[in-house]
Chain A
Amino acid sequence: MNVNQHTPMASPYGQPQPGYGQPGFAPVDGGYPAPYAPYNGPASAYQPGPPPQGPARGPPTSGAPSAPQQYSQYSHSQGDMQNGPPPMTQAPPRPAASQPYNQGAVNLSGPQPSYPQHYGPQPSMQQVTNQMTGMQITSGPPTPAGPGYDPPHSSQPPVNTAYSAAPPHSYTQAPPPASSAPTQPPAPSGPPASQQYYGGPPPPSQQPFNSSLPPTSQQQFTSHAPPLPSSQQTFPPSSYSGPAPTPSHAPAPPVSQPQQSFPPTQPPFSSAPPPNSHPAFVSGPPPPAQGSFQPRAPPPSSQPGSFPPHGSSPISMPSGQYSGPMPPQQQPPPSQLPPYHSGAPPPRVQMPPTSMAQNNHLPPGPQGPPGPPGSMQQPPPQPGIQGGYPPQQNGAFGQVRGPQPGYAGPYPGQPNYGAPAPAPAPAPAAQKRLDPDSIPSPQASDMPAVQKSRHRIDPDAIPSPIQVIEDDKAKSTEPFATGVRGQAPPLVTTNFQVKDQGNASPRFVRCTAYNMPCTADMAKQSQVPLAAVIKPLATLPPDETPPYLVDHGEGGPIRCNRCKAYMCPYMQFIEGGRRFQCGFCSCVTEVPPHYFQHLDHTGKRVDCYDRPELSLGSYEFLATVDYCKNNKIPQPPAYIFLIDVSYNAVKSGMVNIVCQELKTLLDYLPRENPEMDSVVRVGFVTYNKVLHFYNVKSSLAQPQMLVVSDVSDMFVPLLDGFLVNVNESRLVIESLLDQIPEMFAETRETETVFGPVIQAGLEALKAADCSGKLFVFHTSLPIAEAPGKLKNREDKKLIGTDKEKSLFQSQVGFYNTLAKECVAQGCCVDLFLFPNQYVDVATLGVVPVSTGGSVYKYTYFQALSDKERFLNDLRRDVQKLVGFDAVMRVRTSTGIRATDFFGSFFMSNTTDVELAGLDCDKAVTVEFKHDDKLSEETGALMQCAVLYTSCSGQRRLRVHNMAVNCCSQLADLYRNCETDTIINFFSKYAFRGLLNNPTKAVRDTLINQCAQILACYRKNCASPSSAGQLILPECMKLLPVYLNCVLKSDVLMPGADVSLDDRAYLRQLIGCMDVPESHVFFYPRLLPLTKFESGSLPVAVRDSEERLSKGGVYLLETGLHLFLWVGASAQQELLLNIFGTPSFSQIDPSLTSLPVLDNPFSQRMREIIESFRAQRSRYMKLMVVKQEDKSELIFRHFLVEDKSASGGASYVDFLCHMHKEIRQLLS
């Protein structure tokens, strides 16, 4: 019902508009949609306001059902979840799982009840759903909303109801799970049931529906109804599976229910397991085991209870409701509840056990290996880690359920967690957000029958990025040695030291998978992308040695005769050292006499450790003249500054700033030897619609300006004196830089050109026969008559249509051709944009992106506020080490092949990545595909060789070697993946896809692939678990949350205020990001700054509004932005320390830097901010955001776990959606 209705709305997931989820989800699958919507709302609500949420969330809860299951799982074991391991111990757990379902059902009911309560007033489930929709509007609204919605729903009532009901359940369940973790266990069966569960919760209302509703819905309802009593548990499961299954189930419901109900019976099971789990749960789990029980009982009380937080206020509400609807269920819940409440604390304690449980859950595959560690939890990753923790990681959902408990328990930090989280936002936010939960379709409301209740998923119960990050930090205390093949490095968020023992440092190369599938079939089946993110010139920390420079003499580097791979540790010396066999192609090559060395008894050359190329993963060769363009030793590179001097540029102060800055900046041109002067020569051009070149020859008393007006046919008007050595021409240059702002102070020229500007730089480099970099400072759309002239094509109407992709494409072909020419010359273009309106970044960025350059954008540039950011970017950009005229080739061992490349470069064939410029911040993502089988013994090797001209004009080859394992078991693959890298790959893949595909298709593809990955895991590595259980591989348990962030990014889901330029800009920007940057970009770092422990940074909190405390101050970093969020009720002392004013209202929101105050707190804060900035390749301007201020909207945009204003799903909603997708794939 809803579906239909919804569909119209926005079936797609992405549908942003409607209250989110509801419409969107509902459409998707009747069931799901609903859940989503509700969820979103709930999500926020969840954590916070158990109590208030109760009600508010109630709606979500309905959706929650699945969650509950998870919960149960969770509780059981976060482990379960994670491992999927059910196999192991799972057996028992599973049952538990089933129980969970029941429980879930219970939970659902539980949660629902709460809602129901709200709704209670409301007559029917549908109303609920309606409310759901309404929910979004207001928390309280449920009722009011209900009515409102009702009408709409009416049309589709049946479906909607069913769906809505179901979905919400599932979702709600999810949440409930948290609370009712116990219920979850049943999850597997539960899923389908979950809906029913919902139904359960809704039952009361549903019943009405049933009556009114058509068969399907009715069925569901009916089912619900029945289930409720007997096996609401079933419902719970339904909640998840619910969506999908619902329809079909509907008829069956009863049956399923029964079964499900049985599951309840399982409770015994659960109980059986419970024992195990319980113990585990004891802490969190209580829910699980209890879950089964709880579900019912809890609803009313339990939920409140579970929500304890809510308990306080909301409880009454929910309880009321619950009691109403859920009565039967309630009973169980009650019991649960108690456990819960109590459990909450205990769970943590017990967590360890949970972990065990988790292990159990772990997929069979994993078990094998993990087995041992199994005890630990997930062997590979977290072996060392606390048991409690792992679970969380593993069990995607399961953890979710268990999360809170689990977290708290295992981790010391958790306590904090719990504390802050619950306390602050939950309650308030929740209420507000409840609305969202409600499922959209108005029709639904009309539909009398349908009632949805939502279950909320406790956000703490789902995998937490912060937890994962902190775990990894805790784990990575030893330096990371690269010698072990197939070992995944610590996460990018972790500070660690690297020892190069034959493979490239993760700072240079990160792979998505460190265990590659042996065969193409496996790879295809898993859908895990095989890719490496390579940052060839990455800057290393001072305590790590930069790659050694190796000189093989006149003959040049020694290479394999056939595949031309460079000498590396993978070359096997044979015949006493007279020959070597290539590790890539197996070809045998003679060792040149001058390179000969004897072998020791192990077959290693005796000089192995004296030669970097035989013992290290990264090193450089000195290239001979054969490796140079035209067989000529290259000239030192040149930097050319091209400055827009049109009216806008002058008026904004840009010209003045640039000129002033350059005077000092020119002393910091890149050099390899700090003692020496840089050999980089510089040149200057200004332009509006004509170009002005400057002759700054040292012999001149005054610079000379050469105006070229013939922009249609650009050329360089002078040779001698254009590119000069800074020291020699210092006086002339300074004179020039002093005069430029004056000369154009009165300019009235507003038109600019752009194509000719780059042509000019290119021609200058050509004339000087060198490579180099252009720094273009540009303000406006180039509309003056000239090649590359553009027109304003920003058309918001195209957004969302199939033509949207054209907006990302270059407007004219001119720039593509130009880029090609630039690359041929080694001319890298860095573009600094200062637009006041549309400038068509998509087109202007073509050349920078193709030449390895960067685009910097300062919209509405104002000298006062943006100067610092711009100057820091400029300084960094000018000073950073960079190579020119680079060619990168990735060679691989037989069996795989580099097939696709992402980044800022140009390719004229399929293998050579040509980079006019390659700086230390640029990363290239390389995708590999099988073209044959790999063997487990040899693993897979790759060698990335970059031939480039250093900034001192030396031609070099930088070589990075990487060896990874190969596996024939999928479980191995899943155990050694790196989600951050996968996300890096996915984002680049998707963003490039935008050029040729509608945005929606791109999003769907992403979701689909991700679902396949997870489904494959589920199917092959975690099969024993029940179908309704969401089980995530430990290494990828953050995949959904991160993927959601990608999907919600401005590029894929633009808000109304996001300009096309911004999207194009971000799209291009992501293209060359490395993993640390893409990680923080998609999942910003949010630090509470209320107090500091000495030396270390405070532990970050999750990107959700619920995590913000009104009394706190938070720093949020995205890699591009830096926000300081100040809570409205922050302590005076705190404010005084930071801002020097005790009053919240006196804080100046336009601050871009913190006042320098003489107190440790202020000092520390500034240190932190500085250190953040130092970590990123772009300077982040600090923005002070006061709570409730209008600028908070911008800030909220980066709270990526929340529903976004542009319609992006909340984490919880998305997780549910993901689960649904996975289930669909599995079924």
Chain B
Amino acid sequence: MTSYQEFIQQNEDRDGVRFSWNLWPSSRLEATRLVVPVSCLFTPLKERPDLPPVQYEPVLCSRANCKAVLNPLCQVDFRAKIWACNFCFQRNPFPPSYAGISDVNQPAELMPQFSTIEYIVQRGPTAPLIFLYVVDTCLEEEDLQALKESLQMSLSLLPPNALVGLITFGRMVQVHELSCEGIAKSYVFRGTKDLSSKQIQEMLGLIKPAASVQQGRPPAPQDPAATCRFLQPVHRVDMNLTDLLGELQRDPWPVPQGKRPLRSTGVALTVAVGLLEGTFPNTGARVMLFIGGPPTQGPGMVVGDELKTPIRSWHDIQKDNARHLKKATKYYEAMANRSSVNGHCIDIYACALDQTGLLEMKCLSNITGGHIVMGDSFNTSLFKQTFQRVFSKDYNGDFRMAFGGVLEVKTSREVKVCGTIGPCVSLNSKGSCVSENEMGIGGTSQWKVCGLNPSTTLGIYFEVVNQHNAPIPQGGRGAIQFVTQYQHSNMQRRIRVSTIARNWADAQSQIQHIESSFDQEAAAVLMARLGVFRAESEEGPDVLRWLDRQLIRLCQKFGQFNKDDPTSFKLSESLSLYPQFMFHLRRSPFLQVFNNSPDESSYYRHHFVRQDLTQSLIMIQPILYSYSFHGPPEPVLLDSSSILPDRILLMDSFFQLVIYHGETIAQWRKAGYQEMAEYENFKQLLLAPLDDAQEILQTRFPMPRYVDTEHGGSQARFLLSKVNPSQTHNNLYAWGQETGAPILTDDVSLQVFMDHLKKLAVSSST
């Protein structure tokens, strides 16, 4: 089915869309039987160097509840200058500016190659980008220094006209005024007191309290200088801010022995959100939170300041022993929602050896589309480079970030949208294309994605609603239109429209076609997202069981087998890898919390639900390359059998990049052969994985943890935990082979998993 693979690839390149099914079953019933829902991974801002935006606004369907955008799928009557909406069939006249339209003179949006097109909206004021740093000062001196340097460095990366602000916090929260000469001013808030947005704005002097307004003097007109005291254009306060950051001191309040420093993260964020709310509502802004530990006081507190009380673990959570969890989560959720309403996104850069409360705070980023970066210290290249990469630019010299995105999905009548899974929040826009059946964030056809970048990918789930007895005309196609409005980093407002269509197929007669149109990679990711989404809200084991059941049902549906004969079980090529994905997914940190702190789980899940398909697959099933004298580097099975003494392995699990030297290699290296001229080839061998790793490190965001280890090294665990435990202490001798390394685990191997799967799939009892 090369054709399908090409088709899929082509579609992805053009529209940034990967559907689980590229032929859609024509009835609801059949669609349900397919197990994997009709769904897609959609990358709204997929980089399209070949797609210059058009300088006009889209033409919309005039039907009030449709408003679909003119697209290549529309039928156009060039004579009458009328086009028919392919979603609602409304016939619309072209606007006057399209007077010259004709068969040979078509606007771009009507050409099939422009199924995805980007418009630049000229209306409305353009707002500068806003970056508000919220910096924890309860750090070790070294960390703080590194962070300060990173922040100072970042000033040079910001667009000169961007507004920048600084809030620091420790026991207190300080909002720094940047416009002042001479004395550095800051407004200070107590770290333990929750404040309403209005109070914050009053206290910052942004609005006059109501009382004083009544007292006669007419309310002073909003003084722009006053409004912006805390947010100033980078070019103007560059020096000031650099100095300010330079003078930033560690939180001076003494931390008694046995206590954690008091960290008012919650209030700091409230203040940041309140400040932006008051000054720049509905404008793209990025709140960047840098923390070196968990919030220990005030609203949003995650753990008390007593060191003897450790921060909650999964164990505590399962036992319902995490006393701050619910309250804090609720607090941050409320804040995230407020922030998203105004289009501000929140990043969290958490660098600490212990947990920092990401579990509670993750929603800040998840809901607003911000980043979460987790590291051990601000003084690591992981953080430094990742942070730098936030400000990376694209081929046009624009920042790879967009703000205040609103994604709208329109569907043709036979299809309805059930929901999305990704860094977005519902706008609660109910419409005719909204399904009652929710998957992910549903119940709406519009979502807000406050922070976007070219790789931000949403999983969007649909439901075929066409009834079985209402056949779709032959050759009919179902269409879906994605309309993404956003603020480009160059401050333009843009609208990107992707319109896609897929053929309907009758599952009864065309099941093979449907099967071959299956995109197992996309399906795996989409199912994984569903699983993660459930895992976030439900108990872990249930999710695994649900996934297993789905897998078995899928195998039953599409596998070829004789009843009750596992050995006869076969899957077609288009599904052949799917069970393996599921196997690794089951073991992944997205669903397994064992060995992961709650923060780590949150972190992994956060990235999993926003990365594009390729990255997501790497997360599910890491890639393993092997380097040896036996030949060129080659990908090898993610299996313990690949761990051989004379090989160097490079594993990319997205979050970690592990270089593993086999036992022999390690000994050689220790012996220093690479230093000898006659073993130049050995040196080359050693360098090869490093170069490849470097390449990955260059592009990945966030930068993965880079691990260089060897046989028997403690960090080899990163590798050992990922590979398929085909050889364990249980079966080592049974296999009796010398290849590979045994994994000390009770986990089942892929082989066992597959055996069970086959058995269950062919079982007549299920």
Contacts and interface: CB of A to CB of B under 8 A. Distances in A.
A708 B185 contact: no
Interface string B179-207: 00011111111100101000100111100
Nearest to B211: A785
A719 B172 CA distance: 11
A718 to B, nearest CB: 6
Interface in B313-366: none
A743 B183 contact: yes
Interface in B154-193: 172, 174, 177, 182-190, 193
A104 to B, nearest CB: 68
A693 B190 CA distance: 14
Contacts of B185: 692, 704-707
Contacts of B177: 707
B691 interface: no
A1126 to B, nearest CB: 47
Given A751-B212, A785-B209, A713 B190 contact: yes
Contact of B187 (A703, A708, A721): A708
Contacts of A739: 182-183
Interface string A709-740: 11001010111110000000000000110010
Contacts of A476: none
A717 B188 contact: yes
B318 to A, nearest CB: 37
Question: Which of A692, A700, A708, A709 has the largest number of chain B CB atoms within 10 A?
Answer: A709
Contact of A710 (B183, B189, B205, B211): B189
Contacts of A735: 182
Contacts of A706: 174, 185-188
A822 interface: no
A739 B182 CA distance: 8
Question: Which of B177, B183, B185, B212 has the largest number of chain A CB atoms within 10 A?
Answer: B183
B249 interface: yes
A690 interface: yes
Question: Which of A703, A718, A736 has the largest number of chain B CB atoms within 10 A?
Answer: A718
B202 A702 contact: no
B209 to A, nearest CB: 7
A707 B187 CA distance: 4
Nearest to B220: A748
Given A710-B193, A785-B209, A717 B174 contact: yes
A1097 B628 CA distance: 112
Contact of B172 (A709, A718, A751): A718
B253 interface: yes
A751 B172 CA distance: 25
Interface in B7-36: none
B252 interface: yes
Nearest to A703: B183
Contacts of B184: 702-705
Q: Chain A, interface size: which category?
A: 20 to 34
A720 B247 CA distance: 13
Contacts of B188: 693, 706-708, 717-718
A747 to B, nearest CB: 12
B215 to A, nearest CB: 9
B203 A710 contact: yes
Contacts of A743: 182-183
Contacts of B253: 719
B211 A713 contact: no
B185 to A, nearest CB: 4
Contact of A715 (B172, B183, B199, B212): B172
Given A705-B186, A710-B189, A700 B211 contact: no
A719 B186 CA distance: 15
Interface string A691-703: 0111000001111
Interface residues of B, number: 27
Contacts of A736: 183
Contacts of B252: 718-721
A710 B172 contact: no
Contacts of B209: 785
A709 B203 contact: yes
Interface string B221-252: 00000000000000000000000000101001
A702 B183 contact: yes
A700 B203 contact: no
A370 B450 CA distance: 101
A3 B436 CA distance: 98
B151 to A, nearest CB: 18
A720 B249 contact: yes
A259 to B, nearest CB: 75
Contacts of A690: 203, 205
A706 B186 CA distance: 5
A718 B188 CA distance: 9
B200 to A, nearest CB: 9
A693 B185 CA distance: 9
Contact of B182 (A702, A710, A718, A719): A702
Contacts of A751: 212
A703 to B, nearest CB: 5
A698 to B, nearest CB: 13
Question: Which of A690, A693, A703, A705 has the largest number of chain B CB atoms within 10 A?
Answer: A705
A688 to B, nearest CB: 11
Interface in A719-776: 719-721, 735-736, 739, 742-743, 751
A1145 to B, nearest CB: 46
Contacts of B174: 706, 717
Contacts of B187: 706-709
Contacts of A717: 172, 174, 188
B461 to A, nearest CB: 46
A742 B181 CA distance: 11
B204 A704 contact: no
Contact of B195 (A692, A694, A710): A710
Contacts of A694: 183
A693 B189 CA distance: 12
A499 B513 CA distance: 120
Interface string B399-416: 000000000000000000
B182 A709 contact: no
Given A690-B203, A721-B252, A715 B182 contact: no
Interface in A643-696: 690, 692-694
Contacts of B186: 704-707
A700 B247 contact: yes
Nearest to B203: A709
A948 B203 CA distance: 40
A738 to B, nearest CB: 9
A1041 B205 CA distance: 58
A721 B252 CA distance: 9
A195 B182 CA distance: 81
A709 B205 contact: yes
A704 B249 CA distance: 12
A749 to B, nearest CB: 9
A751 B202 CA distance: 14
A837 to B, nearest CB: 16
Question: Which of A693, A708, A751 has the largest number of chain B CB atoms within 10 A?
Answer: A708
Contacts of B190: 710, 713, 715
Interface of B: 172, 174, 177, 182-190, 193, 195, 199, 202-205, 209, 211-212, 247, 249, 252-254
Given A703-B184, A706-B188, A710-B203, 18 more contacts: A694-B183, A702-B182, A704-B186, A705-B183, A706-B187, A707-B186, A707-B187, A707-B188, A708-B187, A708-B188, A709-B205, A710-B193, A710-B199, A713-B190, A715-B172, A720-B252, A735-B182, A743-B183
18 contacts: A701-B247, A702-B184, A704-B185, A704-B247, A705-B184, A705-B186, A706-B185, A707-B177, A708-B187, A710-B189, A710-B190, A715-B172, A715-B190, A739-B183, A743-B182, A751-B212, A785-B209, A785-B211
Interface of A: 690, 692-694, 700-710, 713, 715, 717-721, 735-736, 739, 742-743, 751, 785
In the A-B complex, list the 7 residue pairs whose CB atoms are closest, starting with the nearest. A709-B203, A720-B252, A717-B188, A705-B185, A707-B187, A704-B184, A715-B190
